[in-house]
Structure 1
Amino acid sequence: MNILILGSGGREYTLAWKIAQSVDCDNLFVAPGNAGTGQIAKNVDINVNDFDAIASLVIDENIELVVVGPEDPLVNGIRNYFQQHEQLKNISFIGPDKTGAQLEGSKDFSKAFMEKHNVPTAKSKTFTVETLPEGLAYLDTCSMPIVLKADGLAAGKGVLICQSLQEAKDSLTTMLADKQFGAASEKVLIEEYLDGIELSVFVLTDGENYVLLPEAKDYKRIGENDTGLNTGGMGAVSPVSFADDAFLQKVKSKVINTTVAGLKKEGIDYKGFIFIGLMNVDGEPYVIEYNVRMGDPETQVVFPRIKNDIVDLFTAAAEGNLKNYKLEIADEYATTVVLVAGGYPGSYAKGNEITGLADTNDALVIHAGTKQDDYKVLTNGGRVIAVTGMANTLEEALKKSYTAVNQIKWQDMYFRKDIGKDILALRID
């Protein structure tokens, strides 16, 4: 089988690494890919939103399975494009259509969906620049801290947690009147703050049935002890010790089952991933957000724990055959530490040479923002490399990750040194 992955980050590298192990994978393409995917697949320099060029590639290379990594092309309707194209409509495809992708593409849409289908979530109200005065007045009735969320896609940076009323009013004004996040903040949700422990749960569904993938916890803030600006993710851990069987049963019954049933009831033919951002509040699950693809860096700890042939799994999902599918999960812990360019998530340099990659023998080195320049690997993004360690204990997995991290070098490299330490401190592990 010839397979195409769309995307260029650590998530896509991990998917390529896993797909390349399949007995069913004959030729693997990644568009546009990075320096790492170029070592295990064929990179094709096509933008993920250039649907015509993607179509030509799929037809020319006789591609039979397409796996979409990032959210942008899904929100922009790439599945619809395939469904309406005579030569593409029967190709196996992992990712929802444009309507289903609104679960991530519009916070307002997803919140309305949750409320309609009784999915537990925080209370919220949505405001626009026209209703800004009402939004400011509404904040006077809210308890602090409060959460402000840009409605649209903002690269993981459109969520603000405001500690004071004045901060909340200033931030709401900046988001709406000053268009802080561009079109993404034409609508802003004011949402109740939930006090609990955050984690992510991942589902692959064929539209009716689903498999529950390993859960994970990621670390969004740039600074240690969860301080500083939000990023795309600085590390992740799987499994999560505070997500025990009793809690996950509640997640299935109160969140996943109602979500999948709600999509079917709405007439949305959803074949792909549902990434559910959750808050564990005193043992009860509340949905913070939906995403319509796998997380990054969560993929880097979730997929190494899956034992199944991943092409077999994807094909079953795309063809509607997940009923009775048995997923095999390794008991080992997986931890990933993300290495970023100095200055990220603000401005940062590109083109620095990365050394030490060949010295990392006991961990999986995952390329993200990298490019190949002759025999050199150079930085080409904010999040550059992720390093995943696996072991029977969380401590040993972290040791493997950080041992490998310390082998890798480039100018102004930065990483967090406290990934997983909060879970270790719980002593539930």
Structure 2
Amino acid sequence: MNVLVLGSGGREHAFAWKIARSSQIDKLFIAPGNAGTAQEGTNVDLAVDDFDGIKAFCLAEKIDSVLVGPEVPLVLGIADYFEADSEISHIAIIGPNKAAAQLEGSKDFSKRFMKKYNIPTAKYATFTKDTIEEGYKFLETLKPPYVLKADGLAAGKGVLILPTIEEAKLELKDMLEDAKFGDASSRVVIEEFLKGIELSVFIVTDGQSYKKLPEAKDYKRIGEGDTGLNTGGMGAVSPVPFATQGFMDKIENQIIIPTVKGLKKEGIDYRGFIFFGIINVKNDPYVIEYNCRMGDPETEVVIPRLKSDIIELFEGVATQTLSERDVEFDSRSAATVMMVSGGYPDAYEKEKTVTGINSIHDSLVFHSGTKKDGPTVLSAGGRVLCVTSYGKNIEKALELSYNNIGKISFDKAYYRKDIGFDVVDESK
């Protein structure tokens, strides 16, 4: 089988690493890829939203399946583009169509969906520029802090948590009247704040049945102790110690099953991954958000724990025979630590020489923002790479990741030294 992976981050490197180890893979391409994916297959200089270019490449290389890593091409409708074109409609797209991708592409859509199918989530209301006064009044019914979410995609920056009602009202005005996030904030969802501990839950579905993947917990804040600005993710662990069988059963029965059944009832043919951002509030799960793809850096601990052949799962999704496929997981824990550019998530410098990667043999190094200059690896993004390790528990996995990440260096490199700090004692 010939497979094309779309994307250039750590998530796509982890997928490429797994696909390259399938007994069914013939040729593997990654577009645009990074210095790490180039070790697993062939990088292709194509943008993820260049649908015409992707079509031409798929025809030229006789691609059988396209795995879509990031959300943008899904929300833009790459699955619909392929389905509507008789030349490429036979190629399996692993990722939902445009209607299904609204689960991530529109916060208002996802909240209305959850309300309709009684899926537990925070109390909310949606407002536009014309209803901003009602938005101010709704804020007054809530207790601080206040959660404001841009309805559309805002490159991970569209969610604000504000300590005072004065700040919340000012930000609501900035988002709606001053287009702080462009078209993404032409509608704003205001939510009740839920206090608890978060985890990420993943399934892959063919629209009829689904298979659960290992859960994970990621760490979004730049500073230790979960302080400072939000980032794309500074590390992750799997499994999650507080996610007991009883708690996971609640998630399955109250959230996963109603979601899959609800999509089917809505006439939405969802084929691909669903990410459930869950918050544990006094041992009850609530959905914070859906994503229409795998998370990053969670993929870098979830996919290494998948023992099954991933191409088998892709075939099950494409042919709606997922229920017949076996899914096996590695019983070991996995932990990943992200190494980022100094200054990230604000301004940072690129083109820094990365050294020490080749000295690591007992962990996996997944590249996030790198490129090759001859034999040299250079930084090319805010999140540069992460080190993933296995262990009999999270503490042992983290110990190995930290030991090995210390061997890698580039100018102004930074990583958090407390990933897993809030759950590590429970995992022993």
TM-score relative to the length of structure 1: 0.98
Q: What's the offset of the Cα at 1:362?
A: 1.6
- 2:192 maps to a residue whose letter is E
CA deviations on 1:370-398 (whole Å, 9 max, x unpaired) are 00011111000111101101111111100
Partners in 2 of 1:45 and 1:323 — Cα distance?
Answer: 36
Conserved 8 A contact 2:395-2:427: no
Q: What's the offset of the Cα at 1:428?
A: 5.7
1:184 aligns to what SS in structure 2? Answer: helix
- 2:99 maps to a residue whose letter is T
Conserved 8 A contact 1:235-1:338: yes
Which residue of 1 is the match for residue 74 of structure 2? 74
Q: What's the offset of the Cα at 1:167?
A: 2.0
Which residue of 2 is the match for residue 181 of structure 1? 181
Which residue of 2 is the match for residue 321 of structure 1? 321
2:422 aligns to what SS in structure 1? Answer: helix
Partners in 2 of 1:394 and 1:321 — Cα distance?
Answer: 34
Partners in 1 of 2:353 and 2:70 — Cα distance?
Answer: 26
- Matched ranges for 1:282-301 at <5 A: 282-301=282-301
Q: What's the offset of the Cα at 1:351?
A: 0.5
Which residue of 2 is the match for residue 305 of structure 1? 305
Partners in 2 of 1:193 and 1:162 — Cα distance?
Answer: 10
Counterparts in 2 of 1:297 and 1:428: CA distance versus 1, 3 Å: closer
Q: What's the offset of the Cα at 1:131?
A: 1.7
Q: What's the offset of the Cα at 1:325?
A: 2.8
Please state if 1:280 is matched with 2:280: yes
Please state if 1:191 is matched with 2:191: yes
- 2:112 maps to a residue whose letter is A
Q: What's the offset of the Cα at 1:260?
A: 0.3
Which residue of 2 is the match for residue 231 of structure 1? 231
Q: What's the offset of the Cα at 1:178?
A: 2.5
Which residue of 1 is the match for residue 112 of structure 2? 112
Q: What's the offset of the Cα at 1:122?
A: 0.6
Conserved 8 A contact 1:150-1:186: yes
1:100 aligns to what SS in structure 2? Answer: helix
Partners in 1 of 2:127 and 2:328 — Cα distance?
Answer: 44
Q: What's the offset of the Cα at 1:177?
A: 2.3
Q: What's the offset of the Cα at 1:324?
A: 4.0
CA deviations on 1:298-322 (whole Å, 9 max, x unpaired) are 0000000010011111111111011
Which residue of 1 is the match for residue 153 of structure 2? 153
CA deviations on 1:122-161 (whole Å, 9 max, x unpaired) are 1101112222222112211211112111111122221111
Partners in 2 of 1:222 and 1:182 — Cα distance?
Answer: 25
CA deviations on 1:147-195 (whole Å, 9 max, x unpaired) are 1111111222211111221221222222222222222111111101111
Partners in 1 of 2:409 and 2:154 — Cα distance?
Answer: 30
Conserved 8 A contact 1:389-1:398: yes
In the comparison of the two structures, how many residue pairs are matched? 428
Partners in 2 of 1:108 and 1:161 — Cα distance?
Answer: 17
Which residue of 2 is the match for residue 30 of structure 1? 30
Partners in 2 of 1:32 and 1:54 — Cα distance?
Answer: 11
Q: Among the aligned pairs, what percent are the same residue?
A: 56
Partners in 2 of 1:212 and 1:251 — Cα distance?
Answer: 11
Please state if 1:124 is matched with 2:124: yes
Conserved 8 A contact 2:357-2:407: yes
- 1:15 maps to a residue whose letter is F
Which residue of 2 is the match for residue 10 of structure 1? 10
Partners in 2 of 1:220 and 1:137 — Cα distance?
Answer: 31
Conserved 8 A contact 1:129-1:176: yes
CA deviations on 1:303-362 (whole Å, 9 max, x unpaired) are 000100111111111110111433111111100111111111111111011011111122
Which residue of 2 is the match for residue 401 of structure 1? 401
Conserved 8 A contact 1:155-1:232: no
- 1:320 maps to a residue whose letter is Q
Partners in 2 of 1:389 and 1:95 — Cα distance?
Answer: 28
Partners in 2 of 1:15 and 1:182 — Cα distance?
Answer: 32
TM-score relative to the length of structure 2: 0.98
2:202 aligns to what SS in structure 1? Answer: strand
1:101 aligns to what SS in structure 2? Answer: helix
1:421 aligns to what SS in structure 2? Answer: coil
Please state if 1:384 is matched with 2:384: yes
Partners in 1 of 2:326 and 2:315 — Cα distance?
Answer: 14
Which residue of 2 is the match for residue 270 of structure 1? 270
Deviates more, 1:254-263 or 1:316-325: 316-325
Partners in 2 of 1:173 and 1:404 — Cα distance?
Answer: 47
- Structure 1 unmatched ranges of 5 or more: none
Which residue of 2 is the match for residue 371 of structure 1? 371
Conserved 8 A contact 1:157-1:232: no
- 1:335 maps to a residue whose letter is A
